[in-house]
Amino acid sequence: MDRLLFVALVAFFVSSPAGAQQDSAAPGERNFRACAACHSLEPDRNMTGPSLANLWGRKAGSLPSFDRYSDALKASGIIWDDRSLDAWLTDPAHMVPDNEMPFEGIKDSRARADLLAFLKEATKPGAAPERTAENRMNGMGGMMGGMMGGGRAPNLKDLDPSQHVTGITHCRDTYRVTTADGNTRHFWERNLRLKTDSGQDGPQSGAPAIVPAGMMGDRADVIFAAPEEISKSIEPRC
């Protein structure tokens, strides 16, 4: 449901005349916003999906730094080029059955062509693209950030006191999360997600971070540097 809502909101904003008037980005870059939630343009900066840097000429499912490819994609033998990427963007499930990408495709040929033109330039070796499309997606006049919990998580190496988790207790169905600014927030256990990020944007060891999630301000993610920190950080206490 969250994914469908996100896709619907992005589609609305991209197609909205008001959104188009407020945005001077080229159509392909604007269309990339729907991809930027899961894919970066920086080499080996992987997110939900693999980095798209140096994509043209790469064999599908072969980026060494990405560990979450489906078996179907790894076995497909596809080499990414103009033709294969156009087919993939049209209907990934048809092109590679049983792939795990949660994306239904872009049926508008003009939108695909614009997106491919942008990606072909932005993913070239040595292009070192700025995070323009990702940053604009996170902005969108504050709309997406407020509704979806802030978009891409910020770099968590240097935390504001309100983000730095100093204690977590659990009692019955409730987590209480205390931060370095002295505040404690209460969460229903299903509304607090415990995650790890060992990458360059993840938190320092022993300094978990809390970031907003969801649409109503009642959900959050606590992000740890490593899995073994999770159980050590939660105290059963009523």
Residue with the bigger pLDDT between 82 and 216: it is: 82
- Confidence band (pLDDT; 50, 70, 90) for 25? low
Contacts of residue 15, Cβ cutoff 8 Å, sequence gap at least 6: none
Domain ranges (residues) in the chain: 2-148, 165-236
In whole angstroms, what is the distance from residue 55 CA to residue 36 CA? 15
End-to-end CA distance of the chain: 33
**For residue 162, what pLDDT is reported?**
94
Pairing of strands 219-224, 209-213: antiparallel
Pairing of strands 219-224, 174-179: unpaired
**For residue 132, what pLDDT is reported?**
47
pTM: 0.64
What's the one-letter identity of residue 222?
A: V
One-letter-per-residue 3-state SS of 27-46: HHHHHCHHHHCCCCCCCCCC
Given a cut of 90, is residue 181 above it in pLDDT? yes
How many percent of the chain have pLDDT more than 90? 63
What is the mean predicted confidence (pLDDT) over 133-147? 43
For 84: left if phi > 0, alpha if psi spans -120 to 50, otherwise beta; the answer is alpha
- Confidence band (pLDDT; 50, 70, 90) for 128? low
Q: What is the domain class of 2-148 according to CATH?
A: mainly alpha
In whole angstroms, what is the distance from residue 106 CA to residue 34 CA? 11
Given a cut of 60, is residue 15 above it in pLDDT? no
Listing from the earlier edge strand, what are the strands of the sheet with 174-179?
184-188, 174-179, 165-171, 234-236
Chain centroid to Cα 7, Å, comes to 13
Q: What is the pLDDT of residues 188-203, one digit of tens each?
A: 999 999 999 998 889 9
CA-to-CA separations, 137 to 29, 37, 61, 96, 133, in angstroms, rounded = 10, 8, 26, 28, 6
Given a cut of 60, is residue 148 above it in pLDDT? no
Q: What is the pLDDT of residues 36-76, one digit of tens each?
A: 988 999 998 888 889 999 999 999 999 999 988 999 999 99
